[in-house]
Structure 1
Amino acid sequence: MAENSTESKEKPIHDGVSPIYIPEGDEEEAFQALWEYLIPPYGKAQTAQGEIIRIAGRVQHEFLDNGCINWDGDFQKMLDAFLGYLQLGNGFSRKDLESAEVLVRLLKENGEKGFIDGRLTTVLCSCAMAWVRQNPEVITPLEAEYRR
């Protein structure tokens, strides 16, 4: 019997120290590429850039794939942390941060009610991407107050 010579290509995982750059092209594909590059299979990311992508992706997944059935206080805390990340490094301007605060408030309210609006989670992911774009140098993640 011949052995299978097909080599599986493992996707590269971020080393925790190298600068992080967003791939060119479609924003959804770039977000997915960052997810695969920065997020471990289990647990939290080892960089602030990875954790903000992880938070946005987890919230989007809960809204679009789970219909907010698992929405709880941890998701609320994740969104609070999201706002904290936007203030680190080359953070958002005051005006952009105020817009992000409105976005987070709407997501929290909609999560509690189970009201699904994919536009809000798309904007959340775009905010995460914008922050990572502004902060290519690795930043240590915030102390997490959530378990998810």
Structure 2
Amino acid sequence: MSVHQVETLQGEAIRITGKVAYEVYDNGGINWEPTFNALLQQFLELISSQVPLSAEELARAKKAVWDLCGGKSTDASDVLREAAVHWVLANPVLRANTLPFLGR
């Protein structure tokens, strides 16, 4: 685990959405690079694991990830933040973060 990641999967779900939101809200996506896309794919895998989100919520999250390609959609960022919170609430038992660090 990198110093840029958090210790739990629940925390990592929140961290990823926070990094994406910061980039689109505060930077307007100017620093968007392929690493963000990889983070979003990691996020989708995460919210599909353990007790996954409903099929409807997963579909909304996948659409939001698609809309975020290039870092321009603040609405999509909000959808992901909501998905992260729902996933964390559905998975209250903390799990160690074993995801590979992607450099962001």
**Please, what TM-score do these two structures have when normalized by structure 1?**
0.64
- Which sections of structure 1, spanning at least 5 residues, go unmatched? 1-41
Alignment of 1:12-51 (within 5 A): 42-51=3-12
Asked if structure 1 preserves the Cα contact closer than 8 Å seen for 2:7 and 2:96, the reply is yes
Residue of structure 1 in register with 2:62 after alignment:
101
Tell me by how many angstroms 1:81 deviates.
0.5
Cα deviations by residue, 1:95-146 (Å, 9 ceiling, x for unpaired): 32122111111111x42xxx3x322211111111111011110123242251
Tell me by how many angstroms 1:53 deviates.
0.3
Alignment of 1:32-111 (within 5 A): 42-108=3-69, 110-111=70-71
Partner Cα separation in structure 1 for residue 51 and residue 31 of structure 2: 33
> Could you say which structure has the greater relative contact order, defined with CA pairs below 8 angstroms and 6 or more residues apart?
2
RMSD: 1.4
**Which has the larger helix fraction?**
2
Amino acid at match of 2:58: L
Runs of 4+ in 1 over 3 A off after TM superposition: none
Larger radius of gyration: 1
Cα deviations by residue, 1:17-65 (Å, 9 ceiling, x for unpaired): xxxxxxxxxxxxxxxxxxxxxxxxx510110000000000000000000
Residue of structure 2 in register with 1:133 after alignment:
89
Partner of 1:68, secondary structure, is coil
How many matched pairs?
102
- Which sections of structure 2, spanning at least 5 residues, go unmatched? none
Partner Cα separation in structure 2 for residue 51 and residue 100 of structure 1: 16
The share of aligned pairs that are identical, in percent, is 33
**Please, what TM-score do these two structures have when normalized by structure 2?**
0.89
Residue of structure 1 in register with 2:103 after alignment:
147
